[in-house]
Structure 1
Amino acid sequence: MITESTQTPEPSPTVTPSNSVISTDTSNLLITINAAAQLPVKLTPLNYLSWCTQFNALLLGYDLLGYLDGTHPCPPKPATVSPTSPHTLWVRQDQLLLHAILASVSEQVISLIATTTTSKVAWEKLNQLYASKARSRVMGLKERLSLMHRDSKPISEYLQCVKAIADELALIDLPLSNDDLVIHILNGVAPEFKEISAPVCARDSSISFETLYDKLVEYEATLK
């Protein structure tokens, strides 16, 4: 009598794309960040809020923010240190984060944190150095927006200036609502655009920046 044997097929190996910018070592549970690819905005003395926003998003995505804000402290060092102990893994992950911070700042900034030994210390030092300046930058952008007028500029140039400030505020996680942007634009155009401004303000629904742009540019051409 012949017994037919059945074999369970071996699972196919998992293939990681060769161009992946994140490498996860499943045995050590470490996440490596490629700063050049994933943190394209380098920190300078003038862009702390936009840099911090992109770094925060990455850390939240990989559940690593606890290393920097102190909610995931270093486990106690065991009497016998092993490569896979929680303490060792924490230190290694922390150094990878510190390396990512150092790699994502400009030459002007790196010397200020070159002697830091943990990611938390480096993060806090940058916050102390630039957070207050960043707040003053937000106030400066909002003031520029409120005082901006078309004057003798072509309407397209004026609209581009307004949109550039609005985009900068959005980059630092302080976006203007569409209605606020429209109000700022209409407040800065000359009185000869009142025939466009009045119907826009009387609309029941918001008008997009792109639609308003087309209407104002077309009306300027009519005036000429």
Structure 2
Amino acid sequence: MANNTTFVNADTTTNTIVIVQFNPAFQLPIKLAGSHNFTPWKAHVSLLMHRHNLFGHLDGTTVAPPISLTGNNETTLNPPYMNWFRQDQLVQNTILASVEPTLSSTVATVTSAHKAWESLHTTFANKSHTRIINLQDQLARITKDSRPDSTFNC
């Protein structure tokens, strides 16, 4: 059986895309460095994946087909699974390439793009949300000459 998988760069537009390859250095200019930039990093990755109809690899809605097929008392590798696996690995590699080296172990040890996405969310999303709430609280407490900021005349 011949392999007819087509690899294309993510910046090409064609209706025959089977496997999308990315250039994280060019397409994801923000590297995840921690909870302080998780939100903009997540937005960049999400938009890139949505553009290529691959966000399902991140949120888990694009599930893996069966690894093998059984017929006529014979088990064979399922070609759709191989295409899914290759694409998922490229998405996971894109995530890995878009995080700072100190955070790479969070992504490198998982087995799918979805698990990498979940791991980063677990690690940084709550901290990012907490940081936003803390900043809002700090802004609410800012005073000038013992007057709260709400009484300032701009």
Is the TM value for this pair above 0.5?
yes
Q: Residue by residue, what CA displacement relative to the aligned partner does 1:183-204 show, whole Å, maximum 9, x if unpaired?
A: xxx7474xxxx5xx4xxxxxxx
> Could you tell me whether the CA contact under 8 Å between 1:23 and 1:31 is conserved in 2?
no
Structure 1 stretches (4+) deviating beyond 3 angstroms?
23-28, 147-151, 186-189
TM-score by length of 2: 0.76
> Partners of 1:68 and 1:137 in 2: how far apart?
24
> Partners of 1:57 and 1:114 in 2: how far apart?
22
- 1:131 aligns with one of 112, 122, 125: 125
Other-structure match for 1:115: 109
> Could you tell me whether the CA contact under 8 Å between 1:30 and 1:93 is conserved in 2?
yes
> Partners of 1:34 and 1:23 in 2: how far apart?
12
Other-structure match for 1:65: 55
> Partners of 1:23 and 1:32 in 2: how far apart?
10
Query: Relative to structure 1, is the Cα distance of residues 33 and 150 closer, same or farther in structure 2, using a 3 angstrom cutoff?
Result: farther
Alignment of 1:47-66 (within 5 A): 47-66=37-56
Query: Relative to structure 1, is the Cα distance of residues 107 and 188 closer, same or farther in structure 2, using a 3 angstrom cutoff?
Result: farther
Deviation at 1:57, TM superposition (A): 1.3
> What value does the CA root-mean-square deviation take over the aligned residues?
2.7
> Partners of 2:101 and 2:141 in 1: how far apart?
34
Other-structure match for 1:166: none
The structure whose Rg is larger is 1
TM-score by length of 1: 0.54
Q: Residue by residue, what CA displacement relative to the aligned partner does 1:96-151 show, whole Å, maximum 9, x if unpaired?
A: 00100000000121022221121111111111111110111111222233334567
Larger strand share, 1 or 2: 2
Q: Residue by residue, what CA displacement relative to the aligned partner does 1:162-209 show, whole Å, maximum 9, x if unpaired?
A: xxxxxxxxxxxxxxxxxxxxxxxx7474xxxx5xx4xxxxxxxxxxxx
> Partners of 1:123 and 1:53 in 2: how far apart?
12
Other-structure match for 1:211: none
Which blocks of at least 5 consecutive residues in structure 2 are unaligned? Answer: 1-8, 70-74
- 1:102 aligns with one of 78, 83, 96: 96
> Partners of 1:93 and 1:118 in 2: how far apart?
10
Deviation at 1:58, TM superposition (A): 1.3
Query: Relative to structure 1, is the Cα distance of residues 57 and 21 closer, same or farther in structure 2, using a 3 angstrom cutoff?
Result: closer
> Could you tell me whether the CA contact under 8 Å between 1:24 and 1:30 is conserved in 2?
no
Alignment of 1:185-200 (within 5 A): 187=150, 189=152, 194=153, 197=154
> Could you tell me whether the CA contact under 8 Å between 2:58 and 2:113 is conserved in 1?
yes
Pairs aligned (count): 138
